Amino acid sequence: MYYFSFWSYVQEDAAVLVTNEDVIAVNGSVQYLLNNNVKPFLYLLTDVRFLHRRREDFYNFSRNSQFTIVNLDVYEQASVDDQKYIEENCLIIRSFYRREKGGFLKKIKFNILKRVHKALLISVPLSKRGRLAGFCKDISIGYCSCHTIAYTAIQVAYSLKYGRIICSGLDLTGSCPRFYDESTSPMPSELSKDLFKILPFFTFMRKNVSDLNIFNLSDDTAIHYDIIPYITASELEDEIYYNKIV
């Protein structure tokens, strides 16, 4: 089975490939899919600002997706009416931490936690100046956040036991336009300045999740292809056509 992450933008050639595949869409990328008659299997939102500034879009995207997942921050900072909708229609997931800083007490806490939950893979430095890195194989117990929803989406896809994950729009450069209108309430990307916080998580994922079968459709990305290998849309289309998907 497949997972396609439509993150900051959606590649046009990728949209052709996802008609018959499961799609996990994030933030505002759903609009492009709906415009191309693709109904997301799952809509994921972890950006509180999006609900506040694009409330109508959130409801539209959620109602046009089979399932919706939001994180605890989105739920806690929502209005009473929005909280009621989330409780009745969405799955709420929780990050294991607020900040990625290390520390002695935090290290002890997570050493205990990962013994209890084998699905939690995490490395916590002793120094508070250091930064932790982690990956959770089961989002029902929580997820590891790192300043990009793409990483959360990968954990969701892994938790759902997809045999193969294909990412579209996983550039992390912050240079690609979003597909929803931001003329009145722009939401500038902070990815460029957060890369030093983000990339160690992807490196940790590659080193510690041996059975993760993941590929990237983006030909302009800050993530090295040694971490997430590159695949072209034509290669993927050939595999689908000749039924070579594994």
Instruction: State the Cα–Cα distance between residues 21 and 240, nearest whole angstrom.
Output: 10
Residue 221 has what pLDDT?
85
Residue 246 lies in a domain: no
Residue 201 lies in a domain: yes
Q: Give the structural domain span for 36.
A: 4-241
Residue 116 lies in a domain: yes
Contact at 8 Å (CB) between 166 and 237? no
Residue 154 has what pLDDT?
95
Q: Which helix (H) or strand (E) holds 44?
A: strand 42-45
Residue 82 lies in a domain: yes
Contact at 8 Å (CB) between 44 and 152? yes
Contact at 8 Å (CB) between 168 and 10? yes
pLDDT in tens, the chain (246 residues): 444 544 434 445 555 555 556 889 998 888 888 888 888 999 999 999 999 999 999 999 999 999 999 999 999 999 999 999 999 999 999 999 999 999 999 999 999 999 999 999 999 999 999 999 999 999 999 999 998 999 999 999 999 998 889 888 787 665 544 444 455 455 555 566 788 899 999 999 999 999 999 999 888 888 999 999 999 878 876 665 444 443
Domain of 23: which CATH number?
3.90.1480
- In the chain, the N- to C-terminal Cα span, in Å, equals 8
Q: Which helix (H) or strand (E) holds 42?
A: strand 42-45
Sheet with 4-6, edge to edge strand ranges: 91-93, 67-71, 42-45, 24-26, 4-6, 165-168, 214-216
The predicted model scores a pTM of 0.86
Residue 155 has what pLDDT?
96
Instruction: State the Cα–Cα distance between residues 235 and 228, nearest whole angstrom.
Output: 16
Residue 29 lies in a domain: yes
Distances (CA, A) of 20 to 23, 45, 141: 9, 23, 30
Q: Which helix (H) or strand (E) holds 157?
A: helix 149-159
Contact at 8 Å (CB) between 48 and 73? yes
Residue 61 lies in a domain: yes
Residue 41 lies in a domain: yes
DSSP 62-113: HHTSSEEEEEHHHHHTS-HHHHHHHHHH-EEE-BS-S--B--HHHHHHHHHH
Q: Which helix (H) or strand (E) holds 123?
A: strand 120-123
Number of domains the chain contains: 1
